[in-house]
Each structure stands twice: as structure tokens, then as C-alpha cells.
Amino acid sequence: MALDSGEDSRTVAGRYLLQRELGRGGMGVVWQALDTGLQRTVAVKEVLLPGHLTDAERADAHARVRREAQTAARVAHPSVITIHDVFDFEGHPWVVMELIRGRSLQEEIARTGPLPPERAATVAEALLEAVRAAHANGVVHRDIKPGNVMIGEHDRVVLTDFGIATMEGGASITRTGALVGSPEYMSPERLRSEQATPAADLWSVGVTLYTALNGESPFRRDSITAAIAAVLSAPLPPLPVAGPLAPLVAGLLERDPAARLTADAALELLRGPGAGRGAAGPSGPAGSATGPRTGAWAAGAAPADGTGRLGGHPSGPHTPPGPHTPFPGPHTPRPGAPGGFDTPHPSGPHAAPFGPTTPRPYGGSATPPHPPAPPPPTYSGQGPATLRDARRRDGAGVPVFIVAGALILVVVLVVAVVLVTRDWTRYETFRSSWYTVDYPAEWSVDDTAVRDDAYVRFEPDGDHLLYVDGWVNGPSDPDTSYGWIEADHREFQEDPKVSDYQALEMTEVEGGGFPADWDVARWRAEFSHEDWPTPRRYFATHLVTVGEETYAVTINVPADHRDDYADVYQRAVETFAPR
């Protein structure tokens, strides 16, 4: 450390009294200091240049530190560190910045673990605003990572070391072949020695958000070489707890910089209702989009069945779930029926969607409590294996007469397509004191638990199940639908009978045709469970919280049949109505 005088004074450049070291890295040391001229506390960074530089390269590096600090000082944004001064002193460049009282995002993760999606969304918005402001002023950060993101007073998020942590362009300030920055947070194009661009910063924001949600970088490896290889080609590990941030993270971690989300597109996806449709980037490591919180979160995509009818936004921030006790729990009566109370609703959580042995599972029962219903009507002496087969056979008899001219042929083909793709399933409406919902008329109904537990199941056999459940939320239960999904998601991961679990979507939904007072969330996943006739399963569920009551509309079918039963599930969701 270079000082003006003795060790007792610790004054740099006759003005900055160094008080204590705040941190150090490969490119320098940061001190807390007193600006004796203005009598304010600041952060002072001593930039340490490598010893191998020639005099000309060292002079160039000093000039670039000064130039980039001056440029960064023009970036006026609450989420960008403020630069106060830059100077050379005893062979090293020094930069004076505002002092952020708090801790880095890296320290926050180490202390409390991964951030919940709603808090990570706040960090995401601040980082995206910061890089957008910097890029507008010609500044590329080049070293965005959790250690360079500060969480200050009142949860202010600040990106530090703009244009200072790494210096590229002009003469190299590293030895040939060396990397400046943290490889696991660097973009693929930078690792290929291409020029750093704004898109490279957006990749680093994506890795930082993934780390905030997961607890560690997806490209963390035991060696630098392995980390570089992972960034360049390793598949992105699933991020099932990303919630509404899944499509944002995936869009930022697009390896092709031309397809990567820009800062503007990422902020639009994060904030705007209906935003993100058609935006660059895939749908996300955890499946399709998960929807924005009003005014802050990203818009959701259409459901996997392609109907496009249930996209949207979440209902708002949710409280982290409390203890998740086995269902059924104690029953809480609901007022409204003659005599002051209707039939009782169960209190407390429902059973998580595991396997057939769970009393009220998203998985249902492989051995139904009643004889299997007869198969659907047969055609030509053979019944269809799936609903789609039935629909195809219903449309197979469309006569196609190629009379004359292409116009008639087109009309006939259009009619044929409509007949084949239309859902010909005949539905009936199930009515109880709790809700109404449509189900396939040919399916059997088990409503023996509907009076006490608001639970009914519909099934054509022992391997396909549609069910509706309802309960009253207890004091320690999640108070949002998404909170229930998070709790059940954790149970899935811990259940010893469940294997190969893959969350495809965990979504808060707002709008989509649902009433404004409904808190709606959507969850889709695949998993394996040996107790089922077909072990590899797919389930989809909509959870609806209305006041203190929560309902689940769920389908569980063999994974290979998920598309065949999409219409049945969609019909149930669209017609479900609490009473």
C-alpha cells in the first residue's frame, strides 16, 4: 500500500485517510477512507497493475483507468456506484467512489442461502437498469458477478466497479492467455476472445440471477478449464425455483449474443403485462414463462398445450410457506349454509402431488377405490388408447371428394382438419356445495370425500386421473397459491418414492380470464413413481386461492399422454368455479 507519510497517518494523495480494508481481488484493493477535504466517508480503490507490463503498457493502462472512470462517473443512476475522483499515486491508479454500507450479493447468498424469486426480481430490475444506463453512456462493465453487486441500506441494489474491475482493449494488462474476470460469469463470446459488448454484460447478469436463485453459479467447476468448458457448451441445469424469473434468466443465458435478451427487452419481460411474447431467448430452464407480479414481474407464456388461453401474470407477492403437514387436517367449517354453516372444508395443506399411495395426491390412486369405468365407446371393434385417438376416429369419416379445382380441395381439407382437431369429448358438470367443474361424461366419478374434504376424482381407468380438491388455509399455511406450489415442490424433491422429478413450470398467473379476486398459480412437472401402472408421469395443476380457501384442479396421466389429455384438463380449468 502506498501512503503519503508514516503508517499512522495512512493518507493517500494528501486527502484520503485510509481507515480499513474492505476487500481485495485480482485487480486491486478497496479501502474505507475519509475524504478530509469534504469530511465524508468514501471507498477508495487501489488498482493493482500486473508487474509484467512494459512502461508503455503501464502508461496506457493508467490512461484507460482514468478514461473509464471518467466515463462511468457520467452514469447517473441509483443502481450504479457513484465515482467521485480518479488519480495516479506512486505508480498505481486510484479511484474514489461512494461508500455503500451493506454487504455484497455474494455475502447475502452465503449468509441466508438462495433468494426467493420475489426478492431476486428486485435485484434483477436494479441490475438491468444499471447496465442499461451504463451501456447508454458507452460503458461495458465486463465483470458483473455477485461479489460486485452491493445490497445497501433500505435494500438498495448497487452495481460496483463499473469500467474499472477489468480493462480490455488496447494493450493487454494480463499475461498472454490469461483471463481478466471470473470465467464462470463471463459470456461465451468473451471466452472465445471476442470483443466485450453490452450483450456480454447481459449474460453476466443472467448468471448472477441464476446464482442468486440457486445458491451457486450453474458453471461452477473445480478448475478454470472446466468452468470455461461449461460456459461454452454445458447444458444449463434446470432452475425449478426460479418462479416468474425462469424465462428472464433463460433469455439472458442464450449463448448466441444476437439472440440474447437486451436490457430493454429483459426489463419489458420483467415488468410489463403481456410482455416478453416473441422476445429473444428460450422459455427458461424451468419451463414456460412464469408471469409477472403486478408492475414488477415478467409476463407468463401460454400453457404447454398451445391453447394460449391461460397466459398471464401472478397475483402478487406471496408469503413464504409455513409447515406443510399431511392432509387431511382438522376441518374448519365455512359459513354460508342453512343454520349458519355449510359442510366443512378441510383446514391446512392438501397432500402433495406424489404417488398413488398419497391420500389426496396430485397423483391419485393407481388402484381406484371403485371398479374402473368402462372404456370409451369403441370404433370398428376397438377402443381408442387415448382421447386423441377417439377424436381422430370421429373425424376419419369425413368424406373428401376431389371434384374439380383447388378451391374445393382446400375447403374440404379445412373442414377435415377442424373435425380431427376438435375436442369431441362429451362433458357433464359436477356440482357440489364447494364448486362446479366439467368432466368427461364417460369417466367415473368418486365424490365420497367431497362433503368432508371438498375432494372429487374423475378417471377413465386406473392410470389417468382428473381431480379437484379444496381446503381452508390455516394460520401457518401458505396464504397464496404459489406458496402452496413452492411447498409441494419441496415435498416432491424429498419424497423417497419420487424419482427423476422435473419441474416444467411454476407460474403465478394473473388475468387469463380469471376473476380479479382469484389468486391463481400453475404448476406442471414430470416424475417417476413405481406404484403407477405407467411409472413415468406428467401432472398439471392450477391452484386457486379465494379469500381463506384454496382449490386445486389437477390432472395426472402417463407422460406420453400429456398432449392427449390437454383438452380435458383445459376444460376443467376453464369451467371450475367455487360456489
- Give me 31's grid cell: 479501502
For 377-400, b/e burial (b = at least 16 CB within 10 A) is: eeeeeeebebbbebbbbbbeeeee
Residues in contact with 196: Cβ distance below 8 Å, sequence separation at least 6, in sequence order: 140, 142, 168, 190
List, in sequence order, the alpha helices (H) in 284-336. Answer: none
497-533-504 Cα angle (round to 5): 60
Please indicate if the annotation marks 145 as binding a ligand: no
What span, in angstroms and rounded, lies between the C-alpha atoms of 285 and 500? 16
Sign, CA torsion 211/213/214/215: positive
DSSP-assigned beta bridge partners for residue 83: 97
Q: Which long-range contacts (CB under 8 A, 24 or more apart) does 80-83 make?
A: 80/130, 80/133, 80/134, 80/158, 80/159, 80/162, 81/150, 81/158, 81/159, 81/160, 81/161, 81/162, 83/162
Residue 578: phi, psi to the nearest 5?
A: -65, 150
What span, in angstroms and rounded, lies between the C-alpha atoms of 217 and 227? 10
Contact 196, 142 (CB under 8 A): yes
Catalytic residue positions, numbered: 143
What span, in angstroms and rounded, lies between the C-alpha atoms of 10 and 424? 83
What span, in angstroms and rounded, lies between the C-alpha atoms of 291 and 351? 25
Binding-site annotation, residues for ATP: 45
Binding-site annotation, residues: 45
